[in-house]
A and B are shown apart, each in its own frame.
Chain A
Amino acid sequence: GQSLEQPSEVTAVEGAIVQINCTYQTSGFYGLSWYQQHDGGAPTFLSYNALDGLEETGRFSSFLSRSDSYGYLLLQELQMKDSASYFCAVRDNNAGNMLTFGGGTRLMVKP
């Protein structure tokens, strides 16, 4: 089966940098995605890594190491609006595009 592990909660202060780790076990692997979800809202796409290395999008970066089955999301210059849940998700089936999500990491940004 598939499983993804990520910390349940992380707290950081405004302006700081925070890293949210994700380790996965899947029968197949076609990429690691990150989604952000504010309370009561819909998940929104942040980033995707299919190959090893770092992908940067503004204040957010995502890293993947396929040999270690590990990735992380790096959030820089934290803002209060970054308080949300962050989910890593793997695409592990080439027959479709189904995503298997981790349990989510709740990030609380304090002033």
Chain B
Amino acid sequence: DSGVTQTPKHLITATGQRVTLRCSPRSGDLSVYWYQQSLDQGLQFLIQYYNGEERAKGNILERFSAQQFPDLHSELNLSSLELGDSALYFCASSPTWGSGGKNEQFFGPGTRLTVL
């Protein structure tokens, strides 16, 4: 158990809908990362927040958005869902924004999104 929690574990929805995925980082971790894992695209970085502010952005679609709240939990919002958005979405956390140390990220159990 990494200490990172994600809800829900599974989500089934229809095309065109909007969903919100939630992540609580490990106690004391200020950075939260979102990754998408699909069969054809592998594990892809979406976005990073550090202490409430956006720190780095990957190939995140405009239909996707995220935020980190004052209590450091984070939400990933996916809208106008398409079949291709079906994937496993992981949240990870780390103590800092990245400099120094082992650069270790702690991953949550993931949310499996199925778009029908």
- A→B interface (CB under 8 Å): 30-31, 33, 41-45, 48, 50, 87, 91, 93-104
Contact = CB atoms under 8 A, between A and B. Distances in A.
B91 to A, nearest CB: 9
19 contacts: A31-B103, A33-B104, A42-B107, A42-B108, A42-B109, A43-B43, A43-B107, A45-B102, A45-B105, A91-B98, A93-B56, A96-B48, A96-B98, A97-B56, A97-B103, A99-B45, A101-B42, A101-B43, A104-B42
Dominant SS among interface residues on chain A: loop
B56 A95 contact: yes
Given A33-B103, A44-B2, A95-B55, 17 more contacts: A43-B92, A44-B107, A87-B43, A91-B98, A91-B103, A94-B98, A96-B97, A97-B31, A97-B33, A97-B94, A97-B97, A97-B98, A98-B48, A98-B56, A99-B33, A101-B43, A101-B44
Interface string B69-112: 00000000000000000000010101011110011111111100
A42 B2 contact: yes
B16 interface: no
Nearest to A102: B42
